[in-house]
């Protein structure tokens, strides 16, 4: 029996094809969760002076927030993406 690969719910939908309301809702929720995780991480690092003022508890909280954001990233190979190249600002 061949193994089945997991396919995202948008698999097979090409450009110009209409997406179902369920898929559109899923995509909106996914974007919302990503923005929420990003905002929580930025809020979590504010005031920590790039880690200088961070306690061990702060570091654990920020690490958990970063892992949560990483988990909702739709690009599973983000570090291999050409989008990673560019100028970055250390916050």
Is residue 19 in some structural domain? no
Is residue 50 in some structural domain? yes
Domain that holds residue 62: 33-72
Q: Tell me, what's the pLDDT at 16?
A: 63
Contact status, residue 23 vs residue 10, Cβ threshold 8 Å: yes
Q: What is the count of structural domains for the chain?
A: 1
Report the mean per-residue pLDDT for the chain: 79
Contact status, residue 39 vs residue 69, Cβ threshold 8 Å: no
Name which residue leads in pLDDT, 30 or 4.
Answer: 30
Q: What is the mean pLDDT of residues 46-72?
A: 90
Q: Tell me, what's the pLDDT at 76?
A: 78
Measure Cα distances from 45 to 50, 58, 63, 67 in Å.
7, 8, 10, 14
């Amino acid at each position: 029996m061949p193994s089945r690969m997991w396919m995202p719910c948008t698999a097979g939908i090409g450009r110009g094809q209409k997406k179902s309301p369920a898929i559109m809702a899923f995509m909106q929720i996914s974007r919302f969760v990503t923005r929420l995780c990003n905002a929580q991480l930025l809020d979590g690092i504010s005031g920590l002076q790039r880690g200088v003022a961070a306690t061990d508890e702060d570091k654990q909280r920020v690490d958990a927030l970063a892992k949560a954001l990483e988990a909702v990233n739709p690009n599973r190979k983000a570090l291999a993406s050409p989008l990673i190249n560019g100028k970055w600002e250390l916050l």
